[in-house]
Structure 1
């Protein structure tokens, strides 16, 4: 009897192992098939190689410099349209994003004072990392660079029916699309236009607010069952358009942790914070933001360390001028 029981138990274990192996093979096959399907939709993109001497913090939190780039074929160098620092805490399963206003007037290491987004133009993500460290004592280990075409394709791969967004007003100036007010589903091109719009009283502050709104909407779609199923195709679609120093293994580990913990919300902070800046105009630079670096440095570290505080942006006094 004991031998029969052992044989039956062994048989069940073998059957279970066979089923698990079959599931794994099927999952790998699905991933590869969908990844290749995504790659087939992407165009060949010539990418510039960047050095990035990122520094890992002691708390095991993952810090990534996220850069949205307006890559234009008629220009030798790309310009960064958005600057964000994203932090993921695998221990807490929390996600945070700091939006850095691109018109902040600061000293670029090795150069004179410019708007902060000029650091990318002059020296790529590494010089921008050095500038952010000097200004705010931020240690950023990784960078991820994506151009507008890649963003559009990623959105369309993730949500073929569009991402639901409440458009607050009519938008059309300099964004390549025309949007009407109301709750609607936006495709990749429309969502990009919505995130880039700034021709109103809020100017760049409004654009940053909408970018943060888009990030949370994309997070909800990405972490839905539908989004997780489409993840392999999304990775394949995005791969040619994203430049990053994140290795495949590191990226998969982060994605696995995010999928398990599923942060309810991406917490956001806009820099400069309320009552910490003035609008100024400098010759050869144009309209810029003079900020209180100590006050903003304190707000950033308070935000990243989880302390409460008022991190709202200031009054809607920024000029509507296209900077």
Structure 2
């Protein structure tokens, strides 16, 4: 009888191991299918980003002399992030309401974030002097990159442009952000039937896309655009960290699908993938407003208030000191 019992036990063990093995194979296959689906889907979305979008109001104006240097992957790379208010505008009228430059050193893995004051009065190649945020409308993204790059002493290789809805969509798809609003903020905007009114209360809270947009748009206080650009940097740093979380990395296909209709960029797929890898590996080592307060002066040009740069060379030195920081 004992040998019958032993045989039954052996058969049971074989069935158990067979079940475990099959389960493992099914699980492994499911994982492969999931990541394959995410990978192929992500690639397809990335491929669509360089196609024109009906919702985007800017058009690249070809100018070989202005084109940025090609990024080889080993030297510093800089990306111009532009946010625009497209309401009521026709094609190619959009100005960059918000401008931020992300610059990353692939060797040190240090990233720095700079917000550019939109009223900075600069030389715009081929158009004389004007507010820096008008370069986009005058000559497209390439001229905007060239103008801001010349001001900061940086080679800006890439741009990403989005509007209000693109920003809101990004915040919503990552599940909002837990953020501290430093004061009550109220502003009534009758455009579009008060769709973009600002009503925020002070305190730690979860900001969805609509409330996050209210926060980064608010500038109706004593320091106006100076405090607004600081708020934008602070919020984007939180967004960047949340995007690097394991959960959102796994959901990159869904995130890209959500924002793709609202984004225009000159990034190609290989560079998107290289930058994505570099972004995950890098850390934010510092951020600042440019030009800094000590290097600007308010003035009036043809009745309009602008900010003139007091010393362009000192501004470039300031930028170089900033990108050498590691906070």
- Is the counterpart of residue 197 in structure 1 residue 218 in structure 2? yes
Q: Which residue of 1 aligns with 2:272?
A: 251
Structure 1: tracts of 5 or more residues without a match: 1-15, 38-43, 310-323
Q: Which residue of 2 aligns with 1:136?
A: 152
Q: Which residue of 2 aligns with 1:87?
A: 103
- Is the counterpart of residue 64 in structure 1 residue 64 in structure 2? no
Q: Tell which structure's C-alpha radius of gyration is larger.
A: 2
Secondary structure of 2:199 counterpart: coil
Distance 1:74 1:99, change over 3 A: closer
From 278, 282, 285, give the equivalent of 2:301: 282
Q: Which residue of 2 aligns with 1:172?
A: 186
C-alpha deviation, 1:148, in angstroms: 1.1
Contact 1:35 1:235 survives alignment (8 Å): no
Secondary structure of 2:112 counterpart: strand
Structure 2: tracts of 5 or more residues without a match: 1-23, 46-52, 190-195
C-alpha deviation, 1:125, in angstroms: 1.4
TM, length-normalised to structure 2: 0.78
From 281, 290, 297, give the equivalent of 1:271: 290
Counterpart CA distance in 1 for 2:146 and 2:42 is 38
From 133, 143, 150, give the equivalent of 1:117: 133
Distance 1:57 1:251, change over 3 A: closer
**RMSD between superposed Cα atoms in Å:** 3.0
- Is the counterpart of residue 298 in structure 1 residue 317 in structure 2? yes
Secondary structure of 1:275 counterpart: helix
Aligned residue pairs, count? 284
Counterpart CA distance in 1 for 2:88 and 2:277 is 36
C-alpha deviation, 1:307, in angstroms: 5.0
C-alpha deviation, 1:197, in angstroms: 0.7
Q: Deviations over 1:179-216 (max 9, x none)?
A: 01111111111101101111111210100000001111
C-alpha deviation, 1:137, in angstroms: 2.7
Q: Which residue of 2 aligns with 1:235?
A: 256
Counterpart CA distance in 1 for 2:80 and 2:217 is 19
Q: Which residue of 2 aligns with 1:155?
A: 171
C-alpha deviation, 1:262, in angstroms: 5.1
Contact 2:83 2:162 survives alignment (8 Å): yes
Counterpart CA distance in 2 for 1:195 and 1:268 is 16
